[in-house]
Amino acid sequence: RLRFYGGTAIVGGELPLAVGLALADRMRATGSVTAVFFGDGAVAEGTFHESLNLAALWKLPVVFLCENNLYAMGTRLDRHQAMTDIHAKAAGYGMAAAAVDGMDVRAMEAASREAVESVRQTGTPFLLEARTYRLRAHSMYDPDRYRPKEEVASWQARDPVAGFAARLTAEGLLDEAAWQRLEAEVAREVADAVASAEAAPREPVADLTCDLLAAEEAMPCPA
Amino acid sequence: MPRLSYREAIREGLREALAGDERVFLMGEDVGRYGGAYACSRGLLEEFGPDRVRDTPLSEASFVGAGIGAAIAGMRPIVEVMTINFALLAFDQIVNNAATLRHMSGGQVSVPLVIRMATGAGRQLAAQHSHSLEVWFAHVPGLKVLCPATVTDARLMLAGAIADPNPVIICEHACLYPSEGECAETGEGFDPWRSVLRQRGDAITLVTSSGSLPKVLDTAEQLGREGISADVIDLRCLRPLDLRPVLASVRRTGRAVVVDEGWQTCGLAAEVAAAITEQAFEALAKPVVRVCTAEVPIPYAAHLEQAALPHVERIVTAARELVG
């Protein structure tokens, strides 16, 4: 209903899906734009290049948004890409592109808006590269031994949430009390979501085969 | 009923699908201007235009993935992959996305997609254009797999696949494209998902599908001349696999040969044989016999290719030994 299609756990696997969603929109003239998000690691996958080519060839309304956090899990960008300027790769497909400071909330918002506007006005796709960083480890199992602590610290100093709050405060748009209130609201929302999930009943085992195939053919699903 | 080739029957099926539902479109390598690598879509670009008959780049992963995306958005794409060997480049999209998204999303996402591809050997196209990998798809929950072996199935299975809200793979045997036969025109009473008894006998059960069906029918004819009457069962749909006619037949004959152009190890014939031993063991007079392709990449040289594939002589020999 919200047209949010989640992600795939196969890096690069979502790019062709976005091309297909946009193809359906183009064929039905809905005027919608599809945005697809992926990391710098996905740029090494064939589907990145195939999807950019297909979207440009067929003039499809897609914003390809690469969150370049400099590491494909543990492999630094310059150790997996011969050419590290990701947004420049769009030129190979005749596609408009830009890079933006992904740690700057306002710049990110403006660049995203411009990318969507470009797609709407030209009817052709756009590659936006957001230069950012992963402030924590890749997962709970990641000892984070592949990047210097000083590098992590230097990016932590540019934390986009803290940085945006500081700018709003400096501009008189946010005071300490309002900031504390916002922090508390968000913390409560997260805590409520966790509590709600943990309190919810587990899915019945009888539902195991539900939704494997469309309803009329699936095993009967308990109401 | 008109007499059509398998290729013409597919073309009729495609034309009917495109004419019958504006959400249907066809895309794939050379389906438009070239007319399809096997000429199945010749004339459709002129009839339906480039928006609905789309030539794609050689990007199997992405145009199959785009088909999945368009299906999710409510279209009814028919994606043609030139051969099943090339479909391996799209295996990730088919197995990790098309087959999983409904289950992973708790039923929120539907993938009403049809993927057609040529399969099989016999035309001296060598290993990388000749393998029969249907069973790889048939292994995956969330997919359906159809193998038309007759012109009627070639035409009407397509309509059944389009009407189905699940991802359906249709494997067309490359050797069958020029074959001709009577073609039914309406789908009344037509069920693409069931195995069919193609010939009735009582001494032995011959189970097969796809491009091996004509060979098995020839086998049955030869056996008939020797006084051995055979049931011939065409599996037609490899997933969901309808084994009821197989079990019913084996309960009458007590003997079964399963013929499959795939490799024997972990293959379709193994699945059928296992189901027979699990569910009709008491009826078996002798162990089930499998006739499959030799466990090598399909060779180019004609005599080696034929030696690798199931052929009438091998099937007849296997059947004789079982009955004797």
Model confidence at A181, pLDDT cuts 50, 70, 90, reads very high
The whole-angstrom separation of Cα B99 and Cα B241 is: 17
Name chain B contacts of A44, Cβ cutoff 8 Å: none
Quote the pLDDT of residue A1.
59
Instruction: Tell me which residue in A19, A210, A217 faces B66 most closely, judged by beta carbons.
Output: A19
Exposed, middle or buried, A130 (CB in 10 Å: 0-12/13-18/19+)? Answer: buried
- Of B59, B69, B102, which is closest to A211 when you measure between CB atoms? B102
Quote the tokens at residue A35: 């945005």
**Touching check for B105 and chain A: CB below 8 Å?**
yes
Q: Which residue has the tokens 């734009």?
A: A33
The answer to whether the CB atoms of A16 and B69 lie below 8 A apart is yes
Vertex B72 angle, CA B67 and B74, to 5°: 95
For B245, the token pair is 């006619």
Q: Does the beta-carbon distance from A213 to B166 stay under 8 Å?
A: yes
pLDDT band at A218 (very low <50, low <70, confident <90, very high): very low
pLDDT the model gives residue A6: 85
Contact call for residues B251 and B283 (beta carbons, < 8 A): yes
pTM (predicted TM-score): 0.94
Residues 6+ apart with CB under 8 A from A201: none
Confidence of residue A3 (pLDDT cuts 50, 70, 90): confident
Contact state of B70 with A24 under an 8 Å Cβ cutoff? yes
**Residue of chain A whose alpha carbon sits nearest to that of B164:** A214
Average pLDDT estimate for B39-65: 97
- The token pair at A211 is 């939704």
pLDDT band at B105 (very low <50, low <70, confident <90, very high): very high
**pLDDT > 90? residue A213:** yes
Q: With an 8 Å Cβ cutoff, is B51 touching chain A? A: yes
CA distance linking residue B182 with residue A11, whole number of Å = 48
Instruction: For residue B127, give the amino acid letter.
Output: A
Reported as a single tens digit per residue, the pLDDT across A33-63 is 999 999 999 999 999 999 999 999 999 999 9
| B259 to B64, B98, B219, B316: CA distances (angstroms) | 31, 29, 11, 11
CB contact under 8 Å between A20 and B66, yes or no, is: yes
Is B283 within 8 Å of chain A by CB?
Answer: no
The chain-wide mean pLDDT, for chain A, equals 94
Residue A219 has pLDDT above 50, yes or no: no
Is the model more confident about A8 or about B47? B47
Q: How far apart are CA B130 and CA B124, in angstroms?
A: 8
Contact (CB, 8 A) for B68 and B99: no
Answer whether the bond into residue B240 is a cis peptide, omega within 30°: yes
How distant is the Cα of A213 from the closest Cα of chain B, in angstroms?
Answer: 6
Going by C-alpha positions, the residue among A63, A58, A62 that lies closest to residue A27 is: A58
pLDDT value at residue B188: 86
- Which B positions 179-198 lie with beta carbon below 8 A of chain A? none
Q: How far apart are CA A74 and CA A85, in angstroms?
A: 19
Angle between helices B268-279 and B244-253 (to 10 degrees): 60
Which residues in chain A are closer than 8 Å to B59, comparing Cβ atoms?
Answer: 46, 50, 53-54
- Indicate yes or no: CB of A16 within 8 angstroms of CB of B68: yes
Q: Provide the pLDDT confidence category of residue A217 given band limits of 50, 70 and 90.
A: low
User: How many angstroms separate the first and last alpha carbons of chain B?
Assistant: 40
Contacts of B72 in chain A (CB under 8 A): 5, 17, 20-21
| Residue B182 vs residues A7, B13, B42, B210: alpha-carbon distances, Å | 47, 14, 21, 17
Handedness of CA B74, B78, B84, B86 (dihedral sign): negative
Number of A–B residue contacts, CB under 8 Å: 113
Nearest to A10 by CA among B286, B42, B92, B3: B92
What CA–CA distances, in Å, run from A44 to A47, B50, B94, B144, B201? 9, 31, 20, 32, 58
